Amino acid sequence: MEQEYCPKNIEIYVQKYWKNKKTFHVYEDETKEKYYCLPMLPYPSGKLHMGHVRNYTISDVIARYQRMLGKNVLQPIGWDAFGLPAEEAAIKNNTIPSSWTYKNIKYMKKQLESLGFSYDWDREITTCKPDYYKWEQWFFIQLYKKKLVYKKNSLVNWCPSDKTVLANEQVINGCCWRCQSTVITKTIPQWFIKIRNYAEPLYNDLKKLKNWPEKVKNMQKNWIGRSEGFEISFDIYNSSKKIKIFTTRIDTLMGVTYLAISPFHKFSIYLSKKNQILKKFIETQNNENFSKEEIEAKKFYGINTNIFAIHPIIKKKIPIWIANYVINDYGTGSIMCVPGHNENDWNFAIKNHLKIKYVIQQSNIKNIQLNQNTFFPEKGILINSGEFNQLDYNNAIKKIKKKLSEEKKIKTKIIYKLKDWCISRQRYWGTPIPMATMKNGKIVPIPEKDLPVLLPEKIKNSDLLKNYSNTKSTYYTTKINNQTAVRETDTFDTFMESSWYYARYTCPHFKEGIINPTASKYWLPVDQYIGGIEHAIMHLMYFRFYHKLLRDFKFVQFDEPVKSLICQGMVLSEAFYQIGQNNQRHWIHKSNIYIEKNIKGEIITAKDKKGNKVIYAGMIKMSKSKNNGIEPELMIKNYGADTIRLFIMFAAPIESSLEWNESGVKGIYRFLKKLWKLSFNYIQIKHKYKNIDFNLLNKKQKNMYSLLHKTIAKVSDDINRRKSFNTAISQIMELVNILRKFQLENEEDKCIMKDSLISVIKMLYPFTPHLCFILWKHLNKNCFIDNERWPVFQKNFLLETNNILVVQINGKKQFTIEIPHNLTKKEIFIYVQNHSFFQKKIENKNIKKIIYIPKKIINFVI
Ligand code: ANZ
């Protein structure tokens, strides 16, 4: 064993051992409890950033800890390999997306290995490979057959000069990212999956996710947008037709002054057949060829149909308008309009000179002055509402509902804002959509025997641009049942690949189908999922949706894919800038700056290499644009993977932001060196180990042994129940510091030292596995730690320790006092009051009240 801790020498050696032995390879072992620990799969962007390192470290610590509890732990990794950046990088670097992607994967894989993550590498998934996307295509066809997929015209961003569809990210301030022309919208046919059919279970099942952050669940709730209200049926004057509207505010029914329907509503289309002006108006409403600003400016346009509805209670005629602020595919596509109390209706009524009637006022005060210059959106007391006057919101709803029910004109209704998922992308680097159009215009799926529909990987860069610009000149022809067909050139949204990969990890090589039900039954659901909060809505919604689809096809069980979710916080670091000529900020990397700090560690001055002043912007999220990234590779080179891993877990609670600070990293490095030295010194001593008899130990030994077991208890609870890794680590550090002072005076002392080191190394193994691997080997005659169990604390070794109380007078801290652990509350009060320091402070003053918080504070009010 080397005397000095040298991570470089040990980490590569240990990583090789794990790789050769396939230590973390797992299979379905029915005799063992399973644990599925899943970090979100990375996009192969080029190299790992600290955010990745944090994400994967958290996952690995949990995986290794669960393994030590004796569970069969699956921790897989893969690559979310399709997507736009590959196309952009290929154009920029004169390469092709596939080469760029595979090169990045190779590099990033090496980086992951250098961090010692315990993945089952045999399950690695690369989503741009045909053996993966074949099943994605197959499943899409099954959804198509079940009528869960449809094709519909839909708006996209369109660059008129490049004649290309643009992704949202490629529209910068309303302009094309490449040629800066103003982007307009265009209608093209696109594919959709009916996620709306699952809105209700997606909403309701959020209740089952007890171990998901509330924040994520709330974001999902808002995205689904559940709305509880009523559908009311309005008769049409001089017609047998009716119009159904959706409202959440029937208390405002008496204030309805007009109805509005969407230009695309069935009734609008019906009316437009006989009315040319209407027809023209509707045609101009598809928003094609307009920029985003133009569309916004056009809002609140409408046209009077000259047809009337009958108010269901007042029984008077009210005009029906066609209005472009009414969304066709929300609710019923038509609304009752109350301009006195609804913002949209107010704007439309003002613009089109329609009647405004106020029917709600804030309180019961009679003759309260209403502000006639605006709408009043809040709930309150009914006025101008005939028989419903003076009712409050709840009573008004009850009475109006009852009245309309008598005429069968009302139904309670729940609707959702969630829109169907548009999964087509007019891009090259994605999974080809496995559909084709026959000569007669019929759309058909590609026959299953012809799957996968391969994406040609080796294309010329110039072809890439052609595809990319979606000129349609590259449409592929194919044969289906011996007839010529034109294959779809659009590809899937990349969220498709990341929606089901977790299930494929359970059987990545399964050739007979998308998922092997036996494997998925054993491994699913995922016990712990770890990723960034930026995925709180889209990815996690599609992921939950896909699980429900797979469940309904009987490929997986359970209603939800993931039991527990951790969203790790951001990684921050110090950022510096100078103001340039156009008042622009130029961000300078810290390594190019000289910093002077005061004793508190605050920055007094910062200068660049030429001596010019630099402005400190504080700790902000690491990013390329702020030039404040810290290279994981450099950190590993300087301190080793174990130090980086331990620092990341120690520096902040996992869901909080982590401030990168190199002196903190150095502190962790020093700690590991000390632990190495402590272990080295012990290993040099030759002695005969024997089991400890606690009762025969002296006071010093009992205290040490008791502290060891207390630490095990606390660390176990911190990791397992509280997921509080930083506090767990600080307990271990404290124990190591005390162990370093523990003198080995006799045989028992040496045995206690060994027991303690064994537990410390086991507890640190999830965090610093390389170092622990080596120390273990030397402590235990060439044994391997990877299959060791987590240490168990023994209650009977826990000595009752005295309590420390903070003594306050009138809420102000005076001193701390050690209280014997066996005193009653009354005895504690006397014990404190007898303390000479207390008597000095209190002199002869009267004690009015004693506030006592057991084991914490005693406060005397005088
Ligand atoms: C009358 C009313 C009076 C309304 C009032 C609101 C306030 P949420 O909660 O977002 O679902 N609405 C319904 N369908 C619509 C559509 N297709 N396009 C545009 N607006 C629509 O909002 C429900 C309210 O949004 C409904 O209640 C309706 O306006 C409007 F003081 O009816 B309300």
Measured from the Cβ of residue 302, the count of other Cβ atoms closer than 10 Å reads 20
How do beta strands 258-261 and 317-323 pair?
parallel
- Give me ligand 1 centre to Cα 303, in Å: 19
What is the Å distance from ligand 1's center to 93 Cα?
51
Residue 213 in any domain: the answer is no
Distance between the two ends of the chain, CA-based, in angstroms? 63
Instruction: State how many domains the chain has.
Output: 5
pLDDT tens string 4-56? 999 999 999 999 999 999 999 999 999 999 999 999 999 999 999 999 999 99
By most ligand atoms within 8 Å of CB, the mutation choice from 226, 232, 243, 247 for ligand 1 is 247
Q: For residue 697, which phi and psi values (nearest 5 degrees)? A: -80, 155
The last residue of a domain, from among 534, 566, 598: 566
Residue 644 exposure: Cα atoms within 13 Å on the Cβ side: 29
CA 743 to ligand 1 center in whole angstroms: 76
The verdict on residue 314 lying in a domain is yes
pLDDT at 469: 44
Q: Are 726 and 54 in contact (CB under 8 A)?
A: no
What are the angstrom distances between the C-alpha of 518 and each of 132, 248, 407, 515, 549?
19, 47, 55, 9, 18
Please calculate the CA angle 527-531-535 and round it to the nearest 5 degrees. Answer: 115
Task: Tell which atom from ligand 1 comes closest to the C-alpha of 377.
Answer: 31
Same domain, 612 and 714: no
- DSSP secondary structure letter of residue 651: S
Which numbered atom of ligand 1 lies nearest the CA of 334?
A: 17
* Domain assignment present for 193: no
Q: How confident is the model at residue 474 (pLDDT cuts 50, 70, 90)?
A: very low
Inform me whether the pLDDT recorded for 445 exceeds 90.
Answer: yes
Task: Specify whether the CB–CB gap between 578 and 588 falls below 8 A.
Answer: yes
Nearest atom (ligand 1) to Cα of 247: 27
For 460-519, the three-class secondary structure string (H helix, E strand, C coil) is CHHHHHHHHCCCCCCCEEEEECCEEEEECCCEECCCCHHHCHHHHCCCCCCCCCCCCHHH
Give the residue-averaged pLDDT of 583-607.
90
pLDDT above 80: residue 371: no
Say whether pLDDT at 365 is over 80.
Answer: no
322 Cα: distance to centroid of ligand 1 (angstroms): 15
Q: Are residues 112 and 52 in the same domain?
A: yes
CATH number at 856 reads 3.10.20.590
Residue 55 belongs to some domain of the structure: yes
pLDDT more than 70, % of the chain: 97
Residue 553 shares a structural domain with residue 579 = no
Does the structure show a pLDDT above 70 at 473?
A: no
**Does 171 map to a domain?**
no
**Cα 749 vs. chain centroid, distance in angstroms?**
49
Residue 248 CA: which ligand 1 atom is closest?
27
Residue 823 and residue 783 share a domain: no
Contact present, 809 and 859 (Cβ < 8 Å): yes
- Retrieve residue 129's tokens: 């490979």
Q: What is the mean pLDDT of the chain?
A: 93
Q: Which atom of ligand 1 is nearest to the CA of 325?
A: 19
pLDDT of 633 > 90? The answer is: yes
Tokens 């959709």 belong to residue:
192
Task: Please state whether the peptide bond connecting residue 85 to the residue before it is cis, i.e. omega within 30 degrees of 0.
Answer: no
Both tokens of 277, joined, read 């002006």
Residue 97, preceding peptide bond in cis (omega within 30° of 0): no
Q: Are 594 and 612 a contacting pair, CB within 8 Å?
A: no
Mutate to test the pocket of ligand 1, among 222, 226, 245, 246 (most ligand atoms within 8 A of CB): 246
Say if residue 472's pLDDT is above 50.
no
Closest atom of ligand 1 to 332 CA is: 17
Q: Which two structure tokens, joined as six digits, stand for 619?
A: 């700790």
Cα(302) to centroid of ligand 1, in Å? 17
Q: Which residues are annotated as a binding site for ATP?
A: 624
Of 381, 397, 415, the domain-final residue: 415
Q: Per-residue pLDDT averaged across 805-815, rounded?
A: 91
Q: What is the DSSP letter of 328?
A: T
Same domain, 562 and 610: no
Q: In whole angstroms, what is the distance from residue 469 CA to residue 166 CA?
A: 9
CB atoms within 10 A of CB 26: 20
User: In the prediction, which pLDDT does 171 show?
Assistant: 84
Rounded distance, CA 37 to CA 526, Å? 6
Same domain assignment for residues 265 and 375: yes
Q: If you measure from the C-alpha of residue 323 to the centroid of ligand 1, how many angstroms do you get, rounded to a whole number?
A: 14
Q: Which amino acid does the sequence have at 641? A: A
Q: What is the CATH number of the domain that holds 701?
A: 1.10.730.10
Same domain for 780 and 816, yes or no, is no
311 lies in the same domain as 274: yes
Residue pointed to by tokens 């994406």: 455
Ligand 1: residues within 6 Å at CB?
Answer: 227, 246-249, 252, 326-327, 330-331, 333, 335-336, 338, 341-342
- Domain with 269 in it: what CATH number? 3.90.740.10
Q: Among 730, 763, 788, identify where a domain stops.
A: 788
Shared domain for 358 and 383, answered yes or no, is: yes
What pLDDT does 464 receive?
61
56 located within any domain: yes
Q: Which residues, in sequence order, are CB contacts of 728 under 8 Å at separation 6+? A: 714, 715, 718, 719, 763
CA of 229 to the centre of ligand 1 (A): 9
CA of 214 to the centre of ligand 1 (A): 27
- Look up the domain containing 666 and give its range: 650-788
Alpha carbon of 618 to those of 569, 626, 659: distances in Å? 17, 11, 10
Residue 829 in domain: yes
Within 752-811, strands assigned E span 803-809
Could you tell me if 231 and 307 lie in one domain? yes
- The tokens for 652 are 């902040």
Comparing 195 with 841, the larger pLDDT belongs to 195
Same structural domain, 760 and 821: no
DSSP string, 512-571: SSS--HHHHHHHPSEEEEEEEGGGTTHHHHHHHHHHHHHHHTTSS-SS-SEEEEEEE--E
Q: What does the alpha-carbon distance between residue 120 and residue 97 come to, in Å, rounded to a whole number?
A: 27
Quick count: other Cβ atoms within 10 Å of Cβ 175? 16
pTM for this model (two decimals) = 0.89
**Best of 248, 344, 397 for a ligand 1 pocket test (most atoms within 8 Å of beta carbon):** 248
Is the distance from CB of 260 to CB of 334 less than 8 angstroms? yes
> Are 268 and 391 in a shared domain?
yes
Beta bridge pairs of residue 435: 445
Q: Which residue has the least CA distance to atom 11 on ligand 1?
A: 227
- Residue 739 above 80 pLDDT? yes
Which CATH number fits the domain that encloses residue 611? 2.20.28.290
Q: Is the pLDDT of residue 157 over 90?
A: no
Residues 6+ apart with CB under 8 A from 20: none
| Residue 232 located in a structural domain | yes
